[in-house]
Structures are given as C-alpha cells and as structure tokens.
Structure 1
Amino acid sequence: MTVSEAEGEVFAPASIAAQFVQARLEGVSVPGYPGGVLPQTMAQGYAVQDLAIDLWPDELVGWKVGLVPPQHQQRLGAERLAGCIFKTKVWQAGEAPTPFRAIAGGFTAVEAEFVIRLGRDAPAGKTGWTAEEAADYVGELLVGVEIAGSPLAVINQLGPPIVASDFGNNDGQILSTAIENWRDIAWEDMPAETFINGVSVGRGGAAAIPGSPLAALAFLLGHVAARGRPLKKGMLVTTGASTGIHDIAAGDKARVDFGPFGIVDCVAVPAR
C-alpha cells in the first residue's frame, strides 16, 4: 500500500474495488474517488480492477482496449489500457434502439468500435505479441458500440490509472454485424461516424485506431496473459474509440453509421 503523506491515508485496493462494485450494482454515483488516495501507476489501477473482477457477480467474457493519452504515456510506460466486459452487459443490436443505462451523477459515453471475437484460445504464457501474430487469433471482426460508464463523473479527468481501476470505464457492449472477408478490406475502407440526437459528433473508422485494431489485440493478448487471464475462444475485444469518446446523458439517442457495414442505434436510459 502507498501512504499519502499529505492526508495520512493509504491506497487500499480492496476497499476501492468494493466501493466501485457496490455503486455499479446499485446504479448510483460516488461523490469522489473511494478512499481519496488515487492509484499512481497502471499496476496499482489494475490491482483494483482485478479485485473488482473477482467481486463482480457475472462472467468475464471480454475486454475493452483504450488509449493512454500521449501526455501520460512516458510517465506511465503505457500506450494502451484495458478494461473488462461481462456477459450480462453484452447486447445484440436490433432494429429498435438498444437501451443502456446512464448513472445519474456518474460518467456515460458512447464509442464506435471494431470488435474482435477470438477464434481460438491464446497461449497462457505468451506475453509478447505482434499484430501479425494476433491476426491468427481473430475469429470475427464485428462493428458495435462500447458503453463507457462509471459511477465516478471525473474518471477520465483523473488519469489512466484511475480509469483502469474502475473496469477501464466500461459499462457494456453492443454488438452488430460481422464484416465478411475483413482481411481483404483496407482499414481505410471501414468508416464510422457517430451521431447524438441527430448531430454528428465524430468521424473516423478502423484506420483511426493507432497501429490498427490488430495492434490493439496484440497489446491485450500480452497484457491479460501477464495478469493470468489469457484470452479464450469466443471472448470479445473492443479495439478502440474509432470516432472519439462522446458523452451522453439519459434520454439521449446515439447512432453510429459504419457505412457498408451497417448502423447501430442506441438510447441512454436512467439507471435503476
């Protein structure tokens, strides 16, 4: 544990994890970071996340990958970060907008995602991967929408270790169609545009993900193996916010247009 000399408090991962999990289960916000002492490193953030995963009453079925902002990368020794996705927080998009919760007083956003479904188990002990090696483990490439969400309103402002500590700021995943013959399509030809309440708020696509979605998968394969949680066949990996991170509130409607690969509609509803 790390002592906060100014406050005389300690960094207590178990207490932090328990408070975040309870708030998420109840669908309520937290007034500030639980305990007041922030994780200072990515390792400390993931220590909280691992404890919270074990406390959460659901099956781990996938992971989200996000970018560490450039101004933090050298200090933290990380370019990307990981969060967890659970079975009951995965929804299949349909014709009607898919509802998802927005915790009042917390943080909620939508992200246009290119999602990989693993085609086979990854080796448990392999912690270094290239994008080319990662490609052999892709079963499907789908389009979808990540619901970024946390009981902590200022989670992104506090920095990547704090984001990592609360499920990587993930609160769900909407899946849509698979991209057929994706290996024969250039990343530049996989567009995405996000709209909130009919207004365009971001454009991009698979090519906007640094190094490609396969680079994000390569990071995650090594990262979770090092944590003793290697990827298994069927697991989902969201590869990055391809049009940006777009804040949303209860009552707002979002639409992500993936061009030839379809449209995903969803709507934020109050958390219960």
Structure 2
Amino acid sequence: MSSTARDIAGSFVAARQKAKALPDFPGEPPRNLEASYRVQDEAISMWPDEVVGWKIGRVPAHQVQALGAERLAGPIFRHLVWTAQDGAGVEFPVYENGFAAVEAEYVFRIGQDAPADKLSWTREEAIDLIDAMHVGVELAGSPLATINDLGATVVVSDFGNNHGLILGPEIENWRAKLEQGLTAETFIEGASVGTGRASAADDGPLDALVFLLEHLAKRGKPLKAGQLVSTGAVTGVHDIRVGQHSRVSFNGDGDILCSAVKAAPNGKGFA
C-alpha cells in the first residue's frame, strides 16, 4: 500500500474522535484482508478504550472468492456498549454525513478464556465457551459514508464498520431455542424494514463464533471471559439517520428501542 497502515488508521481514528465525516477513503484501500487487519490493529492501539467484544459481519458474495473469506470481524469498545432497559429507549451516536445502520443480532457472552494456542475449533468446543446468549442491536457506523460500497477490505479497516452495541435481555434456555430457530424483525419509524431467522444449523451464530475463535487466535487476540460476540445481522443492515427511531423485536425474547442522535467530538458522547 502506498499509504501505511498507521496513516490510514490515524485518519479514521481522528475522524471518529472529531465526529467528522470523511469524504473519501484516506489513502489507497487495502488490497487484501491481511492488510486491512493491520490497519485495524493499528487503530485499536490508538483508540483510548478497552475492547470488550467483537462484531462479526459478512464479506460481500462477490468478494468471497478473491478475498478467501466469508466473514469479517471488528472490535466493540467498552464505552460504546449500552444495556437496554425494558420499555426504555437507548440513544446512540451517529456520524452526521457518515454511515449509520442498525442490525438485529444474537450476542454470545463468553464464559472462559479461549486457549491462546488453539487455532482450530469445532462447534461443540465453541459452545462450551458460551456463558449466555442475549438479543442485541449492533450499531454499524463509520465517518465514511461509502464504507459498505467500497467492500470488505475497507469495512475491516475502520473497526469493521462498528460504532457500538446495545445489549438486550438474556435468552432463557437459549440452546433449545436456537435448535428450534429464533426470529427477529426490525422497524424504523414504525415501518418493518426486515425479518430474519437464526438457528443452530450450519452457517448460523455457532459457525460465526467458530470463525471468530480461529480468526482472533491467529491475530494473537484470543477471546476472553466476559467478552461479547455479536454474531451477525439477522434481518439485514438497515440505514438510519439522525432523529430516526428503531424498534427491533425478537419475538418473545425482548424488544430493543433505540434512536439515532448526532455524535459529538471525542467518540463517546452526543452533540
């Protein structure tokens, strides 16, 4: 890359801290995911907060073969995690003129440290690490409005296009419910914008966790007890603007109400 990983990371971190949109990608986009994760690691080292979890996203279908991956990952930081209270809405910050979206997700809370030297995992081994399963809403967000249009290498470079997580209620008897299948529906301004289903079948939340365990082990960042894993969008990625409200219904496992407000400089507060 003509632009160093640290230069690109510095530009994204500065834009996030200033809550200022970026008109273009800051330099030459990485050509592969290895280079993208170098940018991400540099940005994590610059960001003044603790990683308390990870989001998992999809590599666009047209890039899967070229990039050699179906999923991607990004960090979730402590000061950008909110706990949903029954019937109360959560305000979350979005970058004006940047990108913002809500995503219905199922979230695993990890109960024990993953062995640092374990590079290969089965679904059964991964299940044993799970302490609980929650409903949640990933808050996708970036100062770069075109981040998703530019593809997976750009998404990975900016914290995986993550700007927080709203953690909802714990799902009781989650293993049995996941076997049967869980459903969710997302509303924005009262209108349904997407429905979806997650289950224990192949290519669901458990396989997403296996991916993350192997991915983070190779990066020298094994999952730790207490960390949260947001396993992927169930109903789709739904753009949201400042002033708009969303409700995500998990059909018996809780609803999450949230609204988008303008982000303020420092990356943690509101205007």
TM over 0.5: yes
224 and 84 in structure 1: CA distance in 2 versus 1, 3 angstrom threshold: same
Conserved? CA contact 1:254–1:267, under 8 Å: yes
Corresponding position of 1:133: 125
Indicate the residue corresponding to 1:61 in structure 2: 52
Q: Is residue 2:66 matched to residue 1:47?
A: no
Within 1, Cα distance between the matches of 2:213 and 2:56? Answer: 11
Contact 2:200 2:206 in 1 (8 A): no
2:94 equivalent in structure 1? 102
Q: Output the TM-score relative to the length of structure 1.
A: 0.94
Which aligned segments of 4 or more residues in structure 1 are displaced greater than 3 angstroms? 186-189, 207-210
SS of aligned partner of 1:185: helix
The answer to whether 1:189 aligns with 2:189 is no
The yes-or-no answer on 1:93 pairing with 2:84 is: yes
Provide the rounded CA distance (Å) in 1 between the counterparts of 2:249 and 2:171.
14
Q: Is the 8 A contact 2:178 2:200 kept in 1?
A: no
Query: 1:235 & 1:105 partners in 2: Cα distance?
Result: 31
**1:65–1:237 Cα contact (<8 Å) kept:** yes
What residue in structure 2 maps to residue 222 of structure 1?
Answer: 214
Residue 84 in structure 1 maps to residue 75 in structure 2: yes
Paired position in structure 1 for 2:194: 202
In 2, Cα distance between equivalents of 1:68 and 1:164:
10
Q: Which residue does 2:110 correspond to in 1?
A: 118
- Contact 1:209 1:241 survives alignment (8 Å): no
Which range moved further: 122-131 or 147-156? 122-131
Residues 52-61 or 206-215, more deviating: 206-215
Deviation of 1:70 (Å)? 1.4
- SS state of the match for residue 261, structure 1? coil
For the aligned residues, what is the CA RMSD?
A: 1.3
State how 1:223-262 maps to structure 2 within 5 Å. 223-262=215-254
For 1:45 and 1:202, the matched residues in 2 are separated by 30
* Contact 1:155–1:163 (CA under 8 A) maintained in structure 2: yes
The Cα of 1:186 is off from its aligned counterpart by 3.7
Task: Percent identity, please.
Answer: 53
Aligned length: 263
Unaligned runs of 5+ in 2: 265-271
Q: Aligned pair in 2 of structure 1 residues 208, 156: CA closer, same or farther (>3 Å)?
A: farther
Instruction: Give the partner amino acid of 2:97.
Output: G
Match of 1:32 in 2: 24
Instruction: Return the alpha-carbon distance in structure 1 between the equivalents of residues 250 and 139 of structure 2.
Output: 17
Q: Which runs of 5+ in 1 are unaligned?
A: 3-9
